[in-house]
């Protein structure tokens, strides 16, 4: 049975897409059947995988509005499979707002393919709207990418409140896997203070190791690759592989 992990934070620019892509590649390298789901209308994950969102004939939007099945838009992308997105996904939010049971739309779509994959990673948009609620409702666990700055920390605080609402109304089995510290620079006192506050105030587990800053992360998407493929010996690639090892153990 497929395990579904939502990668979410209301704050943009915290490496949600990078985390989904990198963990997906790492798990696929371990022999897992991996599905990546781009739930963001900006389609950054789709672009990072070398797919042009502007030329897609159909995407996740068409699945959410009921035009096609999710398997009809799923594409094989290297070692794993992807449900791509484009800007049309922004229209899905308007459509879903008038739909009964709108929070469960993605979950119902994934139900058709739960036996086909070991794990699905959902790249949620940087908001707490109906698309993110769909991602959290469909998920078994949430991973929260977190940079060591005040706005990212504030975004996580708001996300935790939304997670509690989702657990109360649409997905009582949802669990918080933990936070992945991204773009980490341990030379600054501020970074350490933010992490101490996360532990003290929220009790959120910090998944090890942290992912350090690297220019390699900015280079990889333009090549349609993850950092594991672009710079496999970099510290960032090694960190995501270590993080994936723990996830892989729980899939057994």
At residue 17, does pLDDT exceed 90?
Answer: yes
Question: What CATH code is assigned to 3-250?
Answer: 3.40.50.300
CA angle 108, 21, 113 (to 5 degrees): 25
CA angle 190, 196, 201 (to 5 degrees): 125
200: exposed, middle or buried (C-beta count within 10 Å: 0-12, 13-18, 19+)? exposed
Count of CB atoms situated within 10 Å of the CB of 24: 31
Average the pLDDT over 25-38 and give the result: 97
* Integer Cα distance of 66 and 125 in angstroms: 21
**What are the sequence ranges of the domains in the chain?**
3-250
pLDDT at 218: 77
Phi/psi at 241 (5° precision):
-65, -40
Place 114 in a pLDDT band, splitting at 50, 70 and 90. Answer: very high
pLDDT at 191: 67
- Model confidence over 85-108: pLDDT tens digits? 999 999 998 889 888 899 999 999
At residue 153, does pLDDT exceed 70?
Answer: no
What global pTM score does this model have?
Answer: 0.94
Q: 């049309």: which residue's tokens?
A: 88
CA angle 248, 249, 252 (to 5 degrees): 95
- Model confidence over 187-196: pLDDT tens digits? 666 667 777 7
Q: Which of 11-15, 118-122, 225-229 has the highest mean pLDDT?
A: 118-122
pLDDT at 197: 73
Average the pLDDT over 75-83 and give the result: 95
> Which of 32-41, 56-65, 213-222 has the weakest average pLDDT?
213-222
At residue 4, does pLDDT exceed 90?
Answer: yes
């Amino acid at each position: 049975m497929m395990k579904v992990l939502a990668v979410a934070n209301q704050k943009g620019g915290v490496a949600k897409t990078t985390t989904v892509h990198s963990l997906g590649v790492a798990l696929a390298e371990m022999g897992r059947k991996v599905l990546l789901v781009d739930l963001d209308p900006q389609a950054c994950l789709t672009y990072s995988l070398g797919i042009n969102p502007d030329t897609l004939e159909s995407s996740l939007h068409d699945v959410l509005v009921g035009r096609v099945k999710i398997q009809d838009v799923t594409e094989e992308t290297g070692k794993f499979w992807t449900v791509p997105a484009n800007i049309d996904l922004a229209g899905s939010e308007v459509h879903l707002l008038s739909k009964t049971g709108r929070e469960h739309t993605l979950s119902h779509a994934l139900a058709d393919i739960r036996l086909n994959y070991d794990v699905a990673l959902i790249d949620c948009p940087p908001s707490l709207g109906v698309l993110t609620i769909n991602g959290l409702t469909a998920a078994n666990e949430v991973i929260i990418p977190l940079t060591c700055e005040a706005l990212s920390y504030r975004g996580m605080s708001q996300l935790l409140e939304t997670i509690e609402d989702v657990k109360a109304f649409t997905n009582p089995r949802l669990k918080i896997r933990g936070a992945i510290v991204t773009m980490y620079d341990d030379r600054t006192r501020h970074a350490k203070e933010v992490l101490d506050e996360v532990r003290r105030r929220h009790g959120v587990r910090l998944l090890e190791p942290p992912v350090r800053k690297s220019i390699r992360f900015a280079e990889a998407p333009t090549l349609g690759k993850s950092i594991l493929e672009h710079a496999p010996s970099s510290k960032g690639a090694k960190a995501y592989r270590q993080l994936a090892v723990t996830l892989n153990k729980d899939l057994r």
